[in-house]
Amino acid sequence: MRLFSKKQDSSSEIFGRSRLKHDQVKASKNLFYHSQRSTEPGMVSRQPFRNPVNIQVASRAASYSLQRFGLLIVIIVAAVSLVNILMVTSDPNIVLLDKNQVGYLHSTREYQQAAQKLFKGSFTNNNKITINTSAISLALEKEFPELSNVTIKLPLIDHNPIVYLEPNKPLLALSVNGGLVYAVDSAGLALGAINNTVVTSLHLILVQDQGTIDIQAGQPILPSNTVSFIQTIVYQLSQKQLTISKLVMPAGENELDMYLVGQSYFVKFNLADSSPLQEVGTFLAVRQNLQQQGIAPSQYIDVRVDGRAYYK
C-alpha cells in the first residue's frame, strides 16, 4: 500500500511540467480568458465600447441642427426686412417745384389730402411692387388742372412716397364780366380762380372779357393763339417802355383793345390775325408820326387791317 501511494504522488509532480488538477485547470483557463479579453481596447465584457463614436456623431448632428436653425433665422429676418422695405404708407411727402406758381390756388395740405385719398383707394398701393403711381399721377393732374406734371418717387428704404408737383405757368388773368378772375396758362386753360393780390404778385396780364362764358377750372377758356398774341403785344410794348393799363376783349368780336397808361385813346388789334408783330409795328409807326405832327387821337387807333391804320 505504501508503494502504490508513492508512485501516485511521483506521477503527479513533474519538474517544469506540473500537472494541474481538473479544478485548477478550469480555474486557470477562466483566468487566462478574462485576462486575454480585458487587454483589448474599447471592450467591456463581450460588448464593444462605442462611447467615443457616439460623441462624434452627436456633435455632428448638433452642429448640423444649429446650422439649419441659424439659416432659418437668417431667412426669416431677410423676409421680414424685405416686406418692411417694400411697404408704402398712404402719407406722401408733397414737394412743390414752384411754390409761387402753385400755392396761390391750393395749399400744400389740400394736395396732400387728395394724394392720401388716392393712395388709400386701392390695396395694391400698399407696397412698392404693385403700386400704380401712373394712375395716381393722372388722377391728381385731373383734379388739379394747374398741375402740368405730377411725378411720384418711391424711396429705397423710406416708406413715405414723394409726390413732386410741377405747375402750369399762368400767363394771363382773365376777368369775366367783372366777376371772378381766373389764371390762364399758355394753352388757354383756366387754372383756377384768383384775386387781384395774386394777379399783382405773379405779374400777370389782366384781360377783361366782356362776353358771357361758362368757366370751369381745367377747361380751355381762350384759344392758345390768343394767349400767344397777347403775350407778344405786351412784350413788344414793354420793350418801348410803354405800360399797359388794361386789355379788353369786346363781346362777339375777335378784337383786343389795349389801353396805355397816361393816354386817353386805346388801340384796336385783330386777334384773328396771325401776325401780332406787324400790328404792333404799325401802331408804333402811327404813334410816332402823330406825335411829330402834334396830333393826339381822342378815341382810338385801329390797326386791325394789315398795312393800314386809322385813328379817331
Predicted local confidence at residue 232, as pLDDT: 92
Instruction: Using alpha carbons, list the distances in angstroms from residue 288 to 293, 295, 301.
Output: 9, 10, 12
Strands 93-96 and 43-44: unpaired
- Domain end, chosen from 136, 167, 198, is at 167
Domain count of the chain? 3
Domain match, 70 and 186 both = no
Highest mean pLDDT among 5-19, 121-135, 264-278: 264-278
Distance CA 156, CA 79 (A): 16
Domain residues for the domain of 154 are: 93-167
Domain match, 177 and 113 both = no
Predicted local confidence at residue 42, as pLDDT: 47
Predicted local confidence at residue 66, as pLDDT: 65
- On the question of pLDDT at 209 being above 50, the answer is yes
Count other Cβ atoms within 10 Å, centred on residue 249: 20
Q: Is residue 29 part of a domain?
A: no
- On the question of pLDDT at 107 being above 60, the answer is yes
Domain match, 289 and 182 both = yes
The residues, ordered by sequence, that sit 6+ positions from 70 with a Cβ below 8 Å of its Cβ are none
Instruction: List pLDDT tens digits, range 60-77.
Output: 666 666 667 666 677 776
- On the question of pLDDT at 145 being above 70, the answer is yes
- Domain end, chosen from 167, 183, 215, is at 167
**At 182, which CATH number?**
3.40.50
Domain match, 214 and 163 both = no
For the entire predicted model, the pTM comes to 0.64
Q: Is residue 179 part of a domain?
A: yes
